[in-house]
Amino acid sequence: MQRLLRDVAPLPFFGSAIVSLGLIILACAAPETAAAWFQAANDWIVREVGWYYMLAVGGFVVFLLILAISPLGKVKLGPDESVPDYSLGTWIAMLFSGGMGIGIVFYGVAEPIMHFSSPPDAAAGTPAAARDAMAITFFHWGVHAWAIYAVVGLALAYFGFRRNEPLVIRSAFRPLLGDRVNGWMGDMIDIFAVVGTLAGLATSLGLGVAQLNATGTYLLGLPQSVNVQLVLIVIVTILATLTVATGLDNGIRRLSEFILVLSFVLMGLILILGPTQFLLRAFVENIGLYINSFVSRTFHIYAYEPTDWVASWTLFYWGWWISWSPFVGLFIARISRGRTIRQFLLGVLFAPAGFTAIWFTIFGDLAIWLDLNVAGGDIARTVSENMPIALFTVFEYLPASNVLAWLAGMLVAIYFVTASDAGALVIAMITSRRDVEEPALWLRVFWAIVCGAVAGCLLLAGGLAAVQMAAVIAAAPLSVVMLFMCVGIWKGLSDEVALTASAALPSAPLVVNEGAMWRRRLAAIVSHPRRQQVESFLNGPVAQALDAVQAELSARGHAAEVTRDDTGVALRVDLGDGSSGFTYGVQPISQPIPAFALTDTGGNEQPRNRYYRAEVFLAQGSRGYDIFGYSKEEIIADVVAHYDRFLHFVALKA
């Protein structure tokens, strides 16, 4: 048992597991009671704090757009010399599959046709209703949705890759809480994140299994029932468990690329088989409608003409996106190392939103056109009675309907698997120990099973409505966490700017033996050392230098300590002001060997493609340079120079 639990963070893991299992037991043992509690909590949130959800999401959009166009957008999510881990196409595919893949299949036809037949403002079934339907759908699935994800993703990527913090939610609170994020306060933040992720993931899985059930009904004659959906959840959970065991690159990455290709194939066929010219014209007009209503809909909560519509649609979506944001945010942070803040924000806000705009135009406008010109209102009536079957209702009016249905069914199944296994991977990362690079296999499998179990039990406790209400409820505390994340991002970036300014000030250099230094540095540069060589350097000259500085600081009455762990060696100085203090660390960082140097294999050893650098890390993250080959005295000089600049930085803030 000790071996199994050595890689988990005790309080986040056990706290999240207890809450999750308690929810499962309640939903299974007393489904009517659970449904009543969900309904009461959901009604209170919609009635009392719905305005706050609208204001918060609008604030996220404004904050991120300002950040993207500001000079701070040039800051990299990682050391200055880092490069992206994934190509642009693969990155966008993974963004999209992790974000809302199941949802667009479920709502691709259903939402536009529902707004067309029951609009909040225009007369039903009119051209004005059609225009409003598409503008509203674009609004719900566009920039606002991805802004919610981007807040969490940016916070985690910045503090994880730039500041060298663990890739968990609590890391974004370092500028606000200091070292207290390592205690119970940080554990509680992570527990909130896990529970919210489970609620948001259950919503997506609930929609996915309803759509998968509808696929089976259309193609195989399966009944549409909760029992069938529970069986489907078990099957897909088993598949997700197998996939999550393969990791990010081999499993989720390949599936993400495949489903993006399959999505374009399905859209291409619909575009060819449907009213092509109408759909192309509609896409252009939809973009204009979306841009024109962007600001007004952001803050439109129907205060002067109260209606349940905003609670059933907009507030549900905002709650769903917020509750799912720890999962999607951590996932997109994990795949975004090496990109600048501007690249990250422009990509996350606009690339997937552009894809969903194309999707909803092809499926939503097709449904509206067919309902007006061919079906005589039958599509709208069918969708209002049985929303999961909406997509297949449209297929019946097109050639090769069975082929389209099989492609859509395959897409739903793969989206289902990728959402479940990506969610399990993210939750496993949150509940792992800080120094664990990849979550243990058993932990990933455990959370994959729990994700499926929560979705299944919520279906028992009230069907799809209970699943949707759980997302809105979980979003309430998480939205507050996200607001503080924005503050943390701004404070962290402001501190970095101030520290950079202080580094530009002249300081008196400590004299070292420069004649010997350049020879050692040249030897280190051309040797491309292995990890063992860098670790030996860390345990030798680096540790000796930091111990010497620590001893001198302690003798002068300053609280300083040297720590050693798997990530490297670090000197930390506590200034006694409640902040995280000064940190100077050196870590072994893997880098690809340049192509021109790949012949440097060390004699008769097998060729290798990577080497290690001894990179300097401050509290603000990697400084981007390698000190392998420095002598003890030279390392001391570097530490003292950085400490001098840090004290000036503190003085500027005071």
Mean pLDDT of 203-225: 79
Same domain, 548 and 442: no
Output phi, psi for 238, to 5 deg: -65, -45
- Using the predicted structure, report yes or no on whether residue 159 has a pLDDT greater than 50: yes
Mean of pLDDT values over 13-24: 80
Interatomic CA distance for residues 174 and 616, integer angstroms: 20
Helical packing angle, 632-653 and 463-503, nearest 10°: 110
How crowded is the C-beta side of 404, counted as CA atoms within 13 Å?
Answer: 22
What is the pTM assigned to this prediction? 0.77
Say what the pLDDT of residue 434 is. Answer: 65
Same domain, 481 and 528: no
AA identity, residue 348: V
pLDDT band at residue 346 under the 50/70/90 scheme: very high
In a shared domain, residues 440 and 523: no
For residue 446, what pLDDT band results from cuts at 50, 70 and 90?
confident
Residue 499 falls within a domain, yes or no?
Answer: no
Provide the 10 A C-beta neighbour count for residue 414: 22
Place of tokens 């896409």: 283
Domain limit, last residue, from 490, 506, 536? 490
Token pair 């081999």 is found at: 250
559 occurs within a structural domain: yes
Whether residue 605 has pLDDT greater than 50: no
First to last CA, the chain: 49
Computed over every residue of the chain, the mean pLDDT equals: 81
Indicate whether 402 and 527 sit together in one domain. Answer: no
Instruction: Compute how many other C-beta atoms are within 10 angstroms of the C-beta atom of residue 389.
Output: 21
Looking at residue 462, its pLDDT comes to 60
User: What is the per-residue pLDDT for 233?
Assistant: 80
Q: Are residues 79 and 21 in the same domain?
A: yes
Instruction: Report the candidate in 45, 43, 28, 111 with the shortest Cα–Cα distance to residue 455.
Output: 28
Whether residue 469 sits in one domain with residue 582: no
The residue ranking higher by pLDDT, 194 or 144, is 144
Q: In what order do the strands lie in the sheet with 582-592?
A: 559-565, 568-574, 582-592, 610-618, 621-626
Does residue 575 or residue 542 have the better pLDDT? 542
- Give the model's pLDDT for residue 37: 79
Q: Is residue 502 part of a domain?
A: no
Q: pLDDT tens digits for 376-410?
A: 889 898 888 888 888 888 988 988 888 888 888 88
Residues 243 and 160 in one domain: yes
Sequence-distant contacts of 308-314: CB under 8 A, at least 24 apart: 309/120, 310/50, 310/120, 311/46, 311/50, 313/111, 313/136, 313/140, 314/54, 314/139, 314/140
Residues 454 and 549 in one domain: no
The region, left, alpha or beta by phi > 0 then psi within -120 to 50, assigned to residue 203 is alpha
- pLDDT computed for residue 600 by the predictor: 45
pLDDT band at 275 (very low <50, low <70, confident <90, very high): very high
Cβ–Cβ contacts within 10 Å for residue 277, how many?
7
Q: Tell me if 364 is assigned to some domain.
A: yes
Residues 147, 152, 156, 158: is their CA dihedral positive or negative?
A: positive
pLDDT, greater one: 486 or 19: 486
Give the CATH number of the domain where residue 257 resides. Answer: 1.20.1740
- Please give the tally of structural domains in the chain: 2
- Residue 498 belongs to a domain: no
pLDDT band, very low/low/confident/very high, at 202 (cuts 50, 70, 90):
confident
User: 422 and 329 in contact (C-beta within 8 Å)?
Assistant: no
Residues 564 and 486 occupy one common structural domain: no
**Domain membership flag for residue 599:** yes
Domain contains 501: no
pLDDT at 342: 94
Q: If you average pLDDT over residues 527-554, what whole number do you get?
A: 89
Tell whether 16 and 110 lie within a shared domain.
yes
Question: Are 484 and 525 found together in one domain?
Answer: no
Q: Is 428 in the same domain as 542?
A: no
Structural domain boundaries enclosing 528: 514-653
- Find residue 563's DSSP bridge partners: 570
> Do 586 and 615 contact (CB within 8 A), yes or no?
yes
Q: Taking Cα atoms as reference points, which of 562, 60, 103, 102 lies closest to residue 298?
A: 60
Instruction: Please compute Rg for the chain using Cα positions.
Output: 27
Most confident range (mean pLDDT) of 155-169, 247-261, 444-458 is 155-169
